Amino acid sequence: MYRAEGNYPPRTDVDGTETSLAHWLFDAESEARWTAALSAVPVGHVLVHAPGAYLTSRYTTLGLCPDRHWLEVGKLFCDPRHYGRGVGAALLRVARDYALANDAALLLCVLDSSGPATALYHHEGLTEVGEFHGAHGRNVVFTEST
């Protein structure tokens, strides 16, 4: 889970070009998405989508079954004014329930520099299955089952 701060959610794409937050949040590749709200004010977001090539190409080295129906959690963040109030955990539970209802297992990929995300995933019972170096640094992969 990421805190909404700095350039997250991003104001620019990875290549530095301008992007719209709406496009980033509602990209066509997501299978489902949710927004958390408190008193009708959005305070967090999460989506699930089919894992990208950066993960599928690493299934073997991560010890993941390539025939399993996987869904990747993406764009999980909460407003820093509501950080620590269970928003991230609630959004993660919604994504888990969706995966379960669709006979899928969740994958989560997070930068190792995101301590709060790592703590949340451990607290919620997810397991680290491996890591790899990506475009933004060292990524840690979590799942519920292999």
Instruction: State pLDDT tens for residues 91-122.
Output: 999 999 999 999 999 999 998 888 888 888 99
Which of residues 105 and 145 earns the better pLDDT score?
105
The fold adopted by the segment(s) 2-143 is Aminopeptidase (3.40.630)
**Please, which residues have CB within 8 angstroms of residue 88's CB and are 6 or more apart in sequence?**
1, 44, 76, 77, 78, 116, 117, 120
Between 59-63, 77-81, 138-142, the lowest mean confidence (pLDDT) is in 77-81
Residue 126 CA to residue 99 CA, distance in Å, equals 14
DSSP state of 86: S
Tell me how far CA of residue 47 lies from CA of 58, 121, 145, in angstroms. Answer: 21, 16, 19
- Kindly report which listed range (6-10, 48-52, 55-59, 118-122) carries the lowest average pLDDT score: 6-10
Please give the residue that has the higher pLDDT: either 77 or 69: 69
DSSP 8-state code for residue 143: E
pTM: 0.79
Angle at the Cα of 73 from the Cα atoms of 67 and 78, rounded to 5 degrees:
175
* Confidence tier at 8 by pLDDT (50, 70, 90): very low
User: Averaged over 17-40, what is the pLDDT?
Assistant: 71
